[in-house]
Structure 1
Amino acid sequence: MEYRIQETAICRFGRELFEQERAKKTIERYQHQLRAFAQWTEGRTVTKELTVRYKQWLMERYSPASVNVTLAALNGFFKFMGWQECRVRPVRVQRRHYAEPSRELSREEYYRLLKTARQKGNMRLFHLLETICSTGIRVSELRFITVQAVKRGRADICNKGKYRTILIPRKLCEKLQEYCRERRIWQGSVFVTRSGRPIDRTNVWAMMKTLCAQAHVDAKKVFPHNLRNLFARCFYQKQRDLEHLATLLGHSSINTTRIYTRTSGEEHLRQIERLELLL
């Protein structure tokens, strides 16, 4: 039997992912990867050999993490279609035990972003940055920070089929209540667009990028998830409680949480140098 990727099959796969309650962004990303692979095949029959060649082609151009995202999409599609023999193994990467300094947002850089947002008069962005960084929520969970949640001091979050409750720091509650009064936001999400819709990842990302130059922070470090990373690192440095941190972040596996506990590359190097194994 000859296997070829058709647009109708990609759409059916998308509906299957939707029924599995996969995130909209995940579905769109998987379908995009499938269309890219279909274009690369140029109409050739999909085989294990062809998929391995595509994997090698990807590895010459992209990071292992990016390659594995693509392979996850392909393998999921092959399983859906019953093309088990076409599936390939992901790229194996030894886990790095230290964080890359060029990608980590420091506390000082975070403060500079806050000060810049305030100087620019963008109080929505100022409070948004503080909210993500002081609670550790995902940017997609901002919609659960409502006027009612701020009054209660806690937010009930439903994400990826899981429920959890996060506590909102008292000082942040006071700030957000004052912000809502000034903006005449009486109900619903605190962080909304001009049209009144809950703000999304794209909006936040674009707003954050406007701060980089004036705050003197490398743009590669400035994205919403890095605020969550900073919260996790600061919490772990203070508490050393990995299980509690996993609960706060909404992780199903504690192994996912371990990523946030890595020391910086410089600290890792200092630890090695303390061994004093050189003359």
Structure 2
Amino acid sequence: MNDQRLIELFLDMMSAERGAAKNTLEAYRRDLDDMSLRLSARGKTFDRTQTRDLEACLAEMAKEGLAPSTSARRLSATKRFFKFLLADGYRTDDPARPLSGPKQGRSLPKVLSEADVDALFDAAGELEGNKGVRCRVLLEVLYAGGLRVSELVSLPLNAISKQEGAIFVTGKGNKERLVPLTPPALEAIAAWLDVREDTLPKAKPGLLAKAQRYLFPSTSAREGHLTREQFARILKDLAVAAGLDPKKVSPHVLRHAFATHLLANGADLRSVQALLGHADISTTQIYTHVLEERLKTLVETAHPLARS
């Protein structure tokens, strides 16, 4: 069986059994396509390759100067792929199992200060009309709930639980979690619901049927809801209006800010893990390192002995 057919079967499994998101599937496809091309240059295919062939591909990546994080991601995709081939009987061995990825330091996430976040909210408060209402609710829900941008823009209209004062969020692996919201976020949602009908794509019946299902409908997106790219542009414009460097502001940076500010104000790590929807607490622990860095800087700049 050729490589492309095996990749398609793997992606079908990841979608059906693991609930992998569209962007995750596309990332797997890119990484496996790259590995397939490298093996093909050596006259190899996925069903006939050996460990030494995969090692040669990794060495080639290093020689090309690929970032260790990129090589590690491609190896991770390859390892998962060969586990699938072994489990489904397309191979009788796993040539990727002995491989280890390049060592890489774990970079700390970029974080906005609480003053920076306040500046974003102040700038959003200056916007007029329905777009201003939408911008404020997007910002409130993202920062109050720490959602991933894909979770935010695709929120169904029925995700809101007024009785609970929360929203139901479907995250990675189709796992659902209940995210409580702040009173300002709930007020922003109520204000948005008052004008949301006016933003629906009335002239496009087919798109209207899709858009009606979502909290944040779009008149142009094929999916029927606001896209990640559209929201990223909204946030960049807001950063400029707030006097912040737009390169340092993104939906994911606001998610980082949510987690870091919670921990800085006394929240426990397990609670933050549940709110973020992290399967493993080690993923959440990166935010404790951010706090450690901030405390270290504080001591070095503010302590009397450090100044002397």
Q: Does structure 1 conserve the Cα–Cα contact (< 8 Å) formed by 2:111 and 2:260? A: no
Structural mapping, 1:1-279, within 5 Å? 6-20=3-17, 21-44=19-42, 45=44, 46-59=49-62, 61-81=65-85, 82=91, 84-87=94-97, 88-95=99-106, 99=108, 103-121=110-128, 122-123=131-132, 124-142=134-152, 143-144=154-155, 146=157, 149=160, 151-152=162-163, 153-159=165-171, 160-184=173-197, 188-194=213-219, 197-262=224-289, 263=291, 265=293, 267-271=295-299
The unaligned stretches of length 5 or more in structure 2 are 86-90, 201-211
C-alpha displacement at 1:272, in angstroms? 7.2
Q: What letter matches 1:108 in structure 2? A: A
Q: Does structure 2 conserve the Cα–Cα contact (< 8 Å) formed by 1:148 and 1:188? A: no
Distance, in Å, in 1 between the alignment partners of 2:158 and 2:74 is 39
Alpha-carbon distance change, 50 to 120 in structure 1, aligned in 2, over 3 angstroms = farther
Distance, in Å, in 2 between the alignment partners of 1:191 and 1:145 is 8
| Greater alpha carbon shift after TM alignment, 264-273 vs 105-114 | 264-273
Larger relative contact order (CA 8 Å, sep ≥ 6): 1
C-alpha displacement at 1:267, in angstroms? 3.6
Q: What letter matches 2:52 in structure 1? A: E
Alpha-carbon distance change, 204 to 27 in structure 1, aligned in 2, over 3 angstroms = same
Alpha-carbon distance change, 55 to 109 in structure 1, aligned in 2, over 3 angstroms = farther
C-alpha displacement at 1:174, in angstroms? 1.6
Q: Does structure 2 conserve the Cα–Cα contact (< 8 Å) formed by 1:5 and 1:38? A: no
Distance, in Å, in 2 between the alignment partners of 1:147 and 1:70 is 38
Q: Secondary structure at the match of 1:177?
A: helix
| Greater alpha carbon shift after TM alignment, 176-185 vs 244-253 | 176-185
Distance, in Å, in 1 between the alignment partners of 2:147 and 2:239 is 22
Q: Secondary structure at the match of 2:285?
A: helix
Equivalent residue pairs, number: 271
Q: Calculate percent identity across the aligned residue pairs.
A: 25
Taking structure 1 as the reference length, the TM-score comes to: 0.81
Distance, in Å, in 1 between the alignment partners of 2:139 and 2:147 is 11
Q: Secondary structure at the match of 1:61?
A: coil
Taking structure 2 as the reference length, the TM-score comes to: 0.75
